[in-house]
Structure 1
Amino acid sequence: MLSGPGRCIKNVTLSHNLTTTFSFITYEVKNRIATVTLNRPEKRNALNGAMVAELQQAFKQAGDDDAVKVILLTGAGDAFCAGADLEYLQQLQQNTFDENLADSKALMQLMQQIYHHDKIVIALVQGHAIAGGCGLVTLCDLSYAVPEALLGYTEVKIGFIPALVSVFLVRKTGEGRARELLLTGKLVSADKAQAYGLINEVVPKAEITDYVNKIAAGLCEEAAANSLKVTKQLIGMVLDKPLDEALEQAARLNAQTREHAECRRGIQAFLNKEKLAW
């Protein structure tokens, strides 16, 4: 609805609340925010093949839903995610190489799905995030943790390797920090994780849910969906291409975005000194 100068223009969309039932996670859509919750608190939200498959399904569902603008990833109980489930690790030892490769590729596909997702993904880390759990945090666009949370990649301590997450961690923190975290396998405090660039902010436990939901709501209300999607693509593209090629692609995306309906509406509102609610 258009309004006079100084008043708000709203891009009216069909808003809905939706809850979908899974076995190892929960999925809920409310006020354009899809909340994906790792829901094995008795197992410290440890990952197994079934949970990875459900996460893939949930992120696809959020991507296909025009009423979803932001995805919030969190955990139930005291831990965000303790990494791989012990029974799952035992099963992997019985697998053939081809079975382990297929399993690894399933996790790889989930990581690619989160990292390249069209929607902004925010991690609310309400407890420890270890190994694969810390890997999930690494993939998110924005991450917020409670002061009590410990984060780290402990794979080398059990003779394993943080193979897939290393690709993303080097991008996020730089080679030096990635070497320190991955080679030592040490757990670091939330404050140190923030200093390393692994998370964005440390927020008290009593405040973090409201704080992160306000950030998510702000993205929903104050930024155009297409602008968020394309900006995320630009950030991911920078390290993949030579400078001149990246600039050429950025120029093309710039030109394409200027033709988008959201951009036209946003510029019109700016010129008319009207506040726009997305």
Structure 2
Amino acid sequence: MDKVIFEKDGRIARITLNRPEVMNAIDDDVPTQLEACVQKANADPDIHVIILSGAGDAFCAGYDLQFYAQSTGTNNVTQDMPWDPMKDYTFMARNTEQFMSLWRSHKPVLCKVHGYAVAGGSDIALCCDMIVMAEDAKIGYMPTRVWGCPTTAMWTYRLGPERAKRMLFTGDKISGIEAERMGLVLKAVPASDLDDAVEDLAARMATVPVNQLMMQKLVVNQAIEAMGLKNTQMIATVFDGITRHSPEGLNFKAKAEEVGWKEAVRLRDEGTWDWTDHRPINPER
């Protein structure tokens, strides 16, 4: 089964993340298949707009930690020590570039978020041109608490420095309502209205000539890229590797191997574990 599905519906291309059994978690195949679908949409002169969504109960729950963190030994995101940061960068930069196919797409990309768009899933969503969220959906990058740095680095460009720091210093998840209030997403609507809101906006955009849409997107994106987006992403992707091979990052992976990734993530996100000393947090310290 394809892990990312492409469908053409008149002037609209529908791209769907399709691993619903794991809340569309990212594995080695998803970024490659996502980029291929974006390229397919861009190659079709009849398509004006792309809608990106997720199958099942969520948009995307981030990287598949059951494979990347819980499994013992090494894989693409955890090397034996001493580690080679450029080997890590090569792997993660590939994923970042494939997520950024959404940003580079000549056809506007409208992202529909229900359930969760968290961790690497938020990277994917924030590469899109506009995001419409269900009010009760959640978005955030929890791995900033340990074992991650958002490689697409889109938080600052969408929120500005202070609000980006508020999200990245805490690793909090916020609702669609708060995301709209902060200016992170275009708008949030009741979950029952999400499909209609996205379809109405896509239909309105689809009446504009393809070349007009392309020119307007290039102008806006160039303003962001002139701020140094590429350089920022390079640093963020290197830092992402460091977070996973720091003492705290290695302790987190060891804990995931010991108790399972769900329990390790719970300890991380609740702030109840000292990853430096690999023991529960002592509030007296």
Fold match by TM threshold 0.5: yes
Query: 2:17 is matched with which residue?
Result: 38
Whether 2:14 is the aligned partner of 1:29: answer: no
Q: What's 1:232 paired with?
A: 217
Match of 2:204 in 1: 218
Letter in structure 1 aligned against 2:216:
T
Q: Could you tell me whether the CA contact under 8 Å between 1:145 and 1:202 is conserved in 2?
A: yes
1:71 to 23, 45, 50: 50
User: Counterpart in 1 of 2:121?
Assistant: 133
Give the TM-score of the pair, scaled to structure 1: 0.74
Structure 2 vs 1, CA of residues 229 and 193 (structure 1 numbering), >3 Å: closer, same or farther?
A: same
Q: Secondary structure at the match of 1:27?
A: strand
For 1:197, which of 159, 180, 183 is the aligned residue?
183
Equivalent residue letter for 1:147: E
Name the residue aligned to 1:93. 78
Does 2:148 match 1:165? Answer: no
Please say if residues 180 and 187 of structure 2, whose CA atoms lie closer than 8 Å, have aligned partners that are also in contact.
yes
Distance 2:195 2:182 in 1: 23
Select which of 126, 130, 134 maps to 1:142.
130
8 A Cα contact 2:23 2:56, kept in partner: yes
Please give the alpha-carbon distance, in whole angstroms, between the structure 2 residues aligned to 1:82 and 1:137.
11
Classify the secondary structure of the residue corresponding to 1:23. coil
Amino acid in structure 1 at the alignment position of 2:201: I
How far the C-alpha of 1:241 sits from its partner, in A, is: 4.0
Q: What is the one-letter code of the residue matched to 2:27?
A: N
The CA distance in 2 between the partners of 1:79 and 1:141, in whole Å, is: 19
Residue 152 of structure 2 aligns to a residue whose secondary structure is helix
Displacement after TM superposition at 1:169 (Å): 1.9
- The answer for the alignment partner of 1:177 in structure 2 is 163
Q: Could you tell me how far apart the structure 1 residues matched to 2:132 and 2:118 are?
A: 15
1:43 and 1:128 map into 2 onto residues whose CA distance is: 12
Q: Which residue of 2 aligns with 1:156?
A: 144
Q: Summarize the Cα distance change of 1:241–1:102 in structure 2 as closer, same or farther, 3 Å threshold.
A: closer
Q: Is 2:34 the counterpart of 1:55?
A: yes
Quick one: which amino acid aligns to residue 128 of structure 2?
C
Q: Deviations 1:118-170 (Å, cap 9, x if unpaired)?
A: 000000102111011111121111111111101101112233222x232x221
- The correspondence for 1:207, drawn from 193, 209, 212, is 193
Where does structure 1 lack aligned partners over 5 or more consecutive residues? 1-21, 243-278
Instruction: Specify the alignment match of 1:272 in structure 2.
Output: none
For the residue of structure 2 that corresponds to 1:49, the secondary structure is: coil
Q: Deviations over 1:56-104 (max 9, x none)?
A: 1111111111121111110011111110001034532147634422211
Alpha-carbon distance in structure 1 between the residues aligned to 2:4 and 2:226: 36
SS at match of 2:47: coil
Please give the alpha-carbon distance, in whole angstroms, between the structure 1 residues aligned to 2:129 and 2:144.
Answer: 26
Label 1:137 to 1:240 Cα distance change in 2 as closer, same or farther (>3 A).
Answer: closer
Contact 2:145/2:169 (CA < 8 Å) preserved in 1?
no
TM-score by length of 2: 0.72
2-side partners of 1:33 and 1:142: how far apart?
A: 15
What secondary structure, in the 3-state scheme, does the structure 1 residue paired with 2:29 have? helix
Q: How far apart are the structure 1 equivalents of 2:96 and 2:107?
A: 19
What residue ranges of structure 2 are gaps of 5+ in the alignment?
228-285
- In 1, the alpha carbon distance for the partners of 2:39 and 2:193 equals 29
2:84 paired with 1:104? no
Does the 8 A contact of 1:73 with 1:122 survive in 2?
yes
Is contact 1:169–1:178 with CA below 8 Å preserved after alignment? yes
| Larger Rg over CA atoms | 1
When structure 1 is superposed on structure 2, of 147-156 and 233-242 the one drifting more is 233-242
- DSSP-derived class of the 2:100 partner: helix
